[in-house]
Every structure is written in C-alpha cells, then in structure tokens.
Amino acid sequence: MHNEFDQLKNFPDISTLRPALHSLCSRYGSVARLDILAASQAGKRQALCFLRLDSAAQEQQFMSELGVGRFGGDLVVIVDLLTPGAMTGPGASAQPV
C-alpha cells in the first residue's frame, strides 16, 4: 500500500471521504469524474471509488505512482470506511486495485 492512501483511512461515510479523495487525485490533474459506491461485506464497510482524470497521461502517472488499477476503463481505489463500534488503528486500510 502507498502512504498517500493513509490519509483516506477511517472516514465515517462517503460524503466525508469524497473531498479527501478528490484532493489526493487532483495532484495528478483535473478530476473529470469521481463516483463512489458504498459496499459492506462481513461487517466491513468499504467505498469503491471509480475515477477519471482529464488525460490518459495523467491517469498513467496516477496508476504508476500509486499502484492503482483499472476496471472498465476507470481508475479504481477501494477504501475501508470506519465501521461503527470498531476501533480505529492498524487494521484499517485503503487499497488500490
């Protein structure tokens, strides 16, 4: 995992995660689209973040530097959200796909 994603750990919901993710992504260029979907599995809450930057070169730099992958043409980042009642700490993570 890249340290840049550490700042995305433990947000309580998508609405508070969105500005932080947008800020991280905008360092690589203008964010053309950012869609975030909530997911929950086995008591773990996650945000599936699909994004596009303005140019293919910006997206390639983002992928190379942060280890992010693509799904259906979009860049994808999976972020663990704060689980109500769970302790924050080393178990929380944000993962590039």
Res 89 pLDDT > 60: no
Q: Which one is predicted more confidently, 90 or 47?
A: 47
pLDDT for residue 85: 67
Question: Is the whole model's pTM more than 0.75, yes or no?
Answer: yes
Count of domains forming the chain: 1
Q: Residue 8 belongs to what domain range?
A: 3-96
CATH classification of the domain holding 56 = 3.30.70
CA angle, residues 14, 65, 79, in degrees to nearest 5: 20
Res 12 pLDDT > 70: yes
pLDDT for residue 95: 54
